Structure 1
Amino acid sequence: MTSYMDKSQQPILGNNTVDPETPKAGQWRAAMWKFLLFSALGIALFIIPFEWDGKVTILLGVLTDTLQTALGGFVSYITMALVTISFIGALAVKVLKPNLSEGSLAKKLFDIEWFWLAIRFLGMAFVWMIFLQVGPEFIINRNTGGVIFEDLIPVLIPLFFFAILSLPFLTDFGLMEFLGTLASKVFIKLFKLPGRSAVDAMSSWFGAASIGLLVTMQEYDKSFYSQREAAVIATTFSVTSIAFTYVVAKTIGVDNNFVFFYLTIALTGFIAAIIMPRIPPLSLKPDTYHSGKSMLDEGIPAEYTTYQWAVNRAVTRAHSMPSLGKVFKRSVHNLFDIYLGLIPVTFAIGTIGLGLAEYTPVFNWIATPLVPVLEWLQIPEAAKAAPAMIMGFADMYLPALVGKSIESEMTRFIVGAASITQIIYMSEVGALILKSNIKLNVLELFLIFILRTIISLVVITSVAHLLY
């Protein structure tokens, strides 16, 4: 212990722009407790799974469910208020052109481009149409806008409330530095990513895809990830939670085989995570940073063991954090940014996507080239399976809803597993990526979705043929 404490007196090796000093003596002990306690709280909230009320979940999930129940029908009014304020505030800034100070909360929330203003208008219009049940059936039907209004948003509002406010415990008090240093060599070799992205993956696997994505967005905004790294992590590691995977398995009728179902998804996701960063469009993304320069250095000095350096970096990061009051204030700003920026986008894009799936043959047309591929892979009822898989681009739950009518259990197994490993769905993950500073457009997201689908099909079908 003595020799280790001696080493801790050396300055941390960071980048050329941000080089905080390693705390010493009493400061070291205080920072160590800060790292241990707040990181443990983050792990308890986001990562540790346990059984609650008959389902596997995490503490964040319990808090979300509790708040959702407490809000009840009132969440509808909260939703309408958020999307209405979101549009009117942005419109006022565009028309009145007030002199908003750079970096102010008002500028961050309402000073947006015309495209996003139009999206916010659509989101607001759709919300009021659905609530009043006035307008085209394409929008107000229970299976289109109703899914967003009654099923998705009532979960997202309480989820984001707890997730955004408590996310700093997971990301800002040394846990990312500690796990990132330990996992850096493996992640760089396998996935061409920094080791700290392991935290993004864990928070998705045990929490929710949106949670892992929120971690990625914040890390990119802080310049801990390059544009390429953030794009890879967002489209590769933002997998859905174990709990939702079981919901999909139950809906599509393969929950009796859930262990193999989940292991297949894990294997498929691992293989896709190795391949996707090495092919376009992700491989073509530049290694540029949001602030113009990297704030990350995962190199390990020769005089330190990997574990010692992991602790050193974690404690130093905890020591450099501001007061909890300042952390909370920043989190509240991020919460309003998500509420006013994401909710309208989710309504606009999600409703249109579900409407196209419900009322048009668009997904059948798009899926036509996929049918011979499924037949070549010897998947029964290929003509029914192909559109179900393509519908996953609109919403992850759609393939399960459509695929449950397929008679072949093997085909249902493949459709359900593929819907989880496709990752990109516009009703939530896609909308969140588009709203973020990570520069991925709709066409790129669709191409990534198709590539992931092809990779997933090969792996999942191979396993399915062994099982069935």
Structure 2
Amino acid sequence: MMNNNQTTSKRSQKSTSLAIIQMIGFSFLGILLFFIPFELGGKTSIAFDHLASYLVKEQRTLAVVLLFLLMIYGVIEPFLAGTWKKNTTTKILTLLKILGLILASLYITNLLPMSLMEKDMMPFLFEKLALSVGMIVPIGALMLSFLLGFGLLELMGVIMQPVMKPLFKTPGKSAIDAVASFVGSYSVALLITDRVYRQGEYSAKEAVIIATGFSTVSTAFMVIIAKTLELMAYWNIYFWTCLLITFVVTAITARLPPISRLDDTHAKTDDYPYPTSNRLKQAWQMGVSVAQDAQSLPKILWLNLFDGIKMAAAIVPSIIAIGLLGLLLSKYTPVFDILGLALYPFTWAGGLDSPMFVAKGLSSGLAEMFLPALLLAKQDILTRYVTAVVSVSSIIFFSAMVPCVLATSIPISVAKMVMIWFIRTALSILLACLIGHLAIIFGLLA
């Protein structure tokens, strides 16, 4: 018979073996679900986008019912929890959620004024944004379990630390957020950021850098922008330079106010006590350790799904209300003309034709990131390229991204997000103009 020490050792070994199997197996499944696009029904995308698209297009009635259940929960939850009176911001957001639910109800019953039923108003907000986000966030959160629950995040955090820290002043694990956003959805990437921040593994400053620096629209939406601006013939130069510009701008804004002045303390640290020469070994040990301590798969799935439902419920009515206000401001007021004046020096310095007109068009991206592509679709190739890049690299817009951030615990105000938007947009214009001119010189843009 084995003695007690041998029994204990065997149990420990079995636990380690099971942890390794779970880490490799579930992480591989998570990578397949999130980062490997495949064609289905003539559309190439990743798994949860296919599922969300199926619900929206093929099961629209079910999707609408689910969306309204989410919105109703999102409206009543602040009152049930008593959080609506926490501060002025939460009171305003609660009112906007109520307004969003009312607008959605009037839209679906066809009772809105004709001016709001124009295709670039409520139909755009409800059909293209609210329905998609409402389905994508819970499904994406469910699939997120395999990326977050079994050690992959921590393993990648150790490996990417030497890259992410010096460039972006963020932990190595934030590389997962960046990839998840470009391949999947900014809303799901924000879900990752919020979860890790609430666990104490990101400081306030790091969470804001990640949320406002990496959580941009997905590759799938970049394709829509490129098609609208007739840039698909130059897809590779557009995609890779857009990626480069977005991350260069993130590295710069992380070192400028208001981000540079945010609190950089957190409960846990990304600096692991291992020699850098053993970084791969360190990464493996960290991943296995997390997998050993992981909860059961059903519990992790439920916790992530519940987080996704809560976030979607908070986001969707806000998207409709804030998005409509932004679109109305863009269409009927000079607000974005005034913002365009602030961007004019950068479009002029970039050597763009009609720099004032382009500046006003790009400023509308603060309301909805797709508006500049609609407004500037008939311009010359350089302007169209710059528009396509800036629409993605600016990251912050009121129709969806701002409500998403406000629905999280990430400590950033609307005023600071507008400041970050302006800095990102100005830098993106200059960099995109520089690369665009070089691309034309070398024949990469005709």
Matched residues in 1 for 2:85 and 2:33: separation?
A: 33
> After alignment, is 443-452 or 77-86 more displaced?
77-86
Q: 1:133 to 1:69 in 2, by over 3 A?
A: closer
Answer whether contact 2:214 2:247 (CA < 8 A) is retained.
no
> Shift of the alpha carbon at 1:139?
4.2
Matched residues in 2 for 1:46 and 1:224: separation?
A: 22
> Shift of the alpha carbon at 1:423?
0.8
Counterpart residue number, 2:55: 67
> Shift of the alpha carbon at 1:45?
0.8
Counterpart residue number, 1:315: 288
Counterpart residue number, 1:211: 188
Supply the AA of the counterpart residue of 1:424.
I
CA-to-partner distance for each residue in 1:107-140, whole Å, 9 max, x for gaps? 3998864333212211112212322333455644
CA-to-partner distance for each residue in 1:308-366, whole Å, 9 max, x for gaps? 11010001101101112221231232133123211111111111111211222321122
Task: Calculate the TM-score normalised by the size of structure 2.
Answer: 0.90
Matched, 1:156 2:144: no
Matched, 1:31 2:19: yes
Q: 1:58 to 1:341 in 2, by over 3 A?
A: same
Q: 1:25 to 1:348 in 2, by over 3 A?
A: same
Which of residues 296, 299, 310 in structure 2 aligns to 1:326? 299
Matched residues in 2 for 1:287 and 1:453: separation?
A: 25
Matched residues in 1 for 2:322 and 2:177: separation?
A: 25
> Shift of the alpha carbon at 1:256?
1.4
Matched residues in 1 for 2:278 and 2:184: separation?
A: 32
> Shift of the alpha carbon at 1:60?
2.1
Aligned-residue Cα RMSD (Å) equals: 2.2
Counterpart residue number, 1:45: 33
Which of residues 110, 113, 116 in structure 1 aligns to 2:93? 116
Counterpart residue number, 2:389: 417
Which of residues 306, 309, 323 in structure 2 aligns to 1:336? 309
Matched residues in 2 for 1:427 and 1:267: separation?
A: 25
Counterpart residue number, 2:210: 233
Which of residues 168, 175, 184 in structure 2 aligns to 1:191? 168
Matched residues in 1 for 2:335 and 2:176: separation?
A: 37
Instruction: Count the aligned residue pairs.
Output: 428
> After alignment, is 82-91 or 428-437 more displaced?
82-91
Supply the AA of the counterpart residue of 1:373.
F
> After alignment, is 175-184 or 23-32 more displaced?
23-32
Answer whether contact 1:347 1:427 (CA < 8 A) is retained.
yes
Match of 1:425, SS? coil
Matched residues in 1 for 2:218 and 2:98: separation?
A: 31
> Shift of the alpha carbon at 1:380?
0.8
> After alignment, is 67-76 or 199-208 more displaced?
67-76
Which of residues 440, 455, 459 in structure 1 aligns to 2:412? 440
Supply the AA of the counterpart residue of 1:131.
I
Matched residues in 2 for 1:114 and 1:445: separation?
A: 19
Q: 1:156 to 1:276 in 2, by over 3 A?
A: same
Structure 1 unpaired stretches of 5+: 1-8, 10-22, 94-106
Supply the AA of the counterpart residue of 2:177.
D
Which of residues 367, 386, 400 in structure 2 aligns to 1:394? 367
Matched residues in 2 for 1:200 and 1:171: separation?
A: 11
Q: 1:80 to 1:302 in 2, by over 3 A?
A: closer
Supply the AA of the counterpart residue of 2:55.
L
Counterpart residue number, 1:82: 70
Matched residues in 2 for 1:34 and 1:298: separation?
A: 25
CA-to-partner distance for each residue in 1:6-59, whole Å, 9 max, x for gaps? xxx9xxxxxxxxxxxxx9412111100010111111111111234445554222
Answer whether contact 1:281 1:448 (CA < 8 A) is retained.
yes
Which of residues 236, 256, 264 in structure 1 aligns to 2:241? 264
Counterpart residue number, 2:222: 245
Supply the AA of the counterpart residue of 2:348.
E
Answer whether contact 1:109 1:337 (CA < 8 A) is retained.
no
**Percent of aligned pairs with the same amino acid:** 28
> Shift of the alpha carbon at 1:90?
4.1
Matched residues in 2 for 1:331 and 1:243: separation?
A: 24
Task: Calculate the TM-score normalised by the size of structure 1.
Answer: 0.86
Matched residues in 1 for 2:36 and 2:77: separation?
A: 39
> Shift of the alpha carbon at 1:66?
2.4
Which of residues 242, 246, 255 in structure 2 aligns to 1:278? 255
CA-to-partner distance for each residue in 1:420-459, whole Å, 9 max, x for gaps? 1111112222111111111111111111111011111111
Matched residues in 2 for 1:341 and 1:302: separation?
A: 43
> After alignment, is 76-85 or 433-442 more displaced?
76-85
Matched residues in 2 for 1:230 and 1:90: separation?
A: 24
Q: 1:28 to 1:381 in 2, by over 3 A?
A: same
> After alignment, is 173-182 or 380-389 more displaced?
380-389
Matched residues in 2 for 1:266 and 1:336: separation?
A: 30
Counterpart residue number, 1:3: none
Q: 1:298 to 1:71 in 2, by over 3 A?
A: farther
Matched, 1:429 2:406: no
Supply the AA of the counterpart residue of 2:373.
A
Matched residues in 2 for 1:88 and 1:301: separation?
A: 48
Matched residues in 2 for 1:336 and 1:427: separation?
A: 19
CA-to-partner distance for each residue in 1:355-407, whole Å, 9 max, x for gaps? 2112223211221232243123210122321122111111111111111132x
Matched residues in 1 for 2:138 and 2:238: separation?
A: 31
Answer whether contact 2:63 2:135 (CA < 8 A) is retained.
no
Answer whether contact 1:55 1:243 (CA < 8 A) is retained.
no
Answer whether contact 2:349 2:430 (CA < 8 A) is retained.
no
Structure 2 unpaired stretches of 5+: 1-8, 441-446
